[in-house]
Structure 1
Amino acid sequence: MLMHQTMRWFGPNDPVKLSDIRQAGCDGVVTALHHIPPGHVWSVTEINIRKFIIESEGMSWTVVESLPVSEAIKTQTGDYQWHIQNYCQSLRNLAACGIKVVTYNFMPVLDWIRTDVSWKLPDGARALYFEKLAFIAFDLFLLQRPGAEKDYTREEVRQAKERFEQMRETEKQTLFANALLGLPGSDEAFTPQQVLKALQTYKHIDADRLRQHLFFFLQQVIPVAQELDIQMAIHPDDPPYPVLGLPRIVSTEEDIAAIIAAAPAANNGLCYCTGSLGVRPDNNLLSILRRFSEHIHFLHLRNTAKDAYGNFYEATHLGGDTDMFLVVKEILQIQKKRGKRLPMRPDHGHQMLDDLDKKTYPGYSAIGRLKGLAELRGLELGVYRWMLEQ
């Protein structure tokens, strides 16, 4: 039983067309209604419009990524109860349209963070990159977050200052833009004023309190998901450690265990992202797969290469720190045990070949993901045939 191969599509404004995704070998699409603000209901009409567009190209809308959790829910302020009710109604509407896997995250303020979204690799392709010192320099000297120096060692502050002073003005501007990119699916970047204001809303919210807010959300939503037979899949933090003084609570194996225990149900599950989880050297990816095998509802297979200083970049899908052979082998064993194909997508492909001259969402150019998918499909088929012969 092979995985259900999909790709992410950001909707009608995505430079990557649905026909490109189909030609890559996918029969499923991962998408979201990015034009609907967080906290508002996804109507049956809007869902069906998007579903019809995808099906017209011979594919299915396989996974929602993401049905966003509003900042009001994360901070439990304002109309957060109303937002939770709307979230549940969106789940009902998705189920009525036959869509049964929903991905979301609980990262405060910002989604994934990188310092360079066009980092040149030795072969000329470009990748996403996170440089710890550059990010500290951004935090201290560009964003100028009040009290930021308390989150770093004296040596880190010294080195970041030195790094910042060596930057050309254009490099500072690029770093500023990269660190404050908007959410995936949007061309809009956050302003420093917006970020600083948003950070203030977490002034009294530490990891324990944010965790309780997540648990409360799950205890309202998971029973509805059970009724609808919808699989909820939380995406790990990216990167999986605190940034900008904000807590991160979906970063480790024990974080995941606590999340599942907060609302015990098979529907309460994980989007297993080898890239996000693999950045932390203390995460054992195979242990996480085995421990939560019944709760994994969606797979992001990508690879990162990290160093001892906290820097990492998006490697080739088979060439980073994660042993993708062992991961794919374990996934196929889980599928066999569960009698179910899991949806998978390649993630954060390199910008390469003709795509180097095109504007694309960072990490989501067509050719780089096609290369990643081809590598993963070949590996999967080889592992699958090998397992049959054992």
Structure 2
Amino acid sequence: MSHQVFVSGVGMIPFTKPSATGPYDEMGAAAARMALADAGIAYADIQQAYVGYVYGDSTSGQKALYKVGMTGIPVFNVNNNCSTGSTALFLARQAIASGALDCVLVLGFEQMSAGALGSIFQDRPSPFDAFDAVTDQLVGMPQIPLALRYFGGAGLAHMQKYGTPLDAFAKIRAKASQHAANNPLAVFKQVVSAEEVLNSTMIWPGVITKLMACPPTCGAAAAVLVSASFAKARGLNTSVYIAAQAMTTDTPSTFESDDMMRLVGYDMSKAAAAQVYRQAGIGPEDLDVVELHDCFAHNELITYEALGLCPEGGADKFICDADNTYGGQVVTNPSGGLLSKGHPLGATGLAQCFELTHQLRGSAGARQVAGAQIALQHNLGLGGACVVTMYRAS
């Protein structure tokens, strides 16, 4: 795969609470139109489309894109839990990098319901049976919704292993709110202090409070990927390209290590990041900005270490030294992340792409990371899959 892949257009609508959303097809069509307009091309130029969503009927991708155009192109519907958007991005990049295509649209959207995530189909084995069995053994707490048990349990494991204090997670959530205050597309723009996070409703005593979890969110985001030859012929924007990308799934260590951090994807994240660093020929010390999967403050902390932003066990110091924000080592989640920007599952990976593309273009406004040249995206879905993407400014 030797063909360079450029992100020539991105689009994103404001994320909202479920009570304030429009239907998924309208959200998806709006984001797709924005990406096309940003790229300066028509829908007729698109050769294929990859559309990600989790909660929706089959061919919802066609329903959304038919509002944009009906050109007869292949439309692929993608579902990979919370990594759905980045999985669609991964497939689209492969299509261009292989030389098969020159211009592809990637779209992600989600119309979510209020409340905790849960399984839809109750008459068949759950993909999470093995995850639940390990969680039951290691942490119990069956009265807590599954995602809270998984990631709260992972945070608890880090606390027990490294002595990480609860306020480390509170500081992450406070940082997210400070970043989101500068993002007009974020669902939560109110700045909260670490103390306010700690004093919010305690969901799991000593482990997780309400503000440490991302909210159910609705929204859509999109990107247009093109080859170098297509971009040159059309005079398109080539200021940002995908320098490396990797996708991983679970290995036996997920279930056999008796470690909640590994159960929620630590090894997947570490392996995907390592592949990307090898492909790009650079390391975490070279990164300027990172958008990572902070579905819970606990997962952001764990992911610092999985991505090599700090040593294993060094996340609390990394946070206390403010190395995760402006003026520090690397700015993490300048968008506000999933915690404050919101997490419409299928759209999340494309929203991360939107943010990092603008950061590398230098067009991120009040949240701009000064001089950003290299960016990393991390998107995780349990069940499981992890996609890590490195972008560079041309």
TM-score, normalising length: structure 2: 0.33
Greater share of helix: 1
Q: Which structure is higher in RCO with an 8 Å CA cutoff and minimum separation 6?
A: 2
TM-score, normalising length: structure 1: 0.33
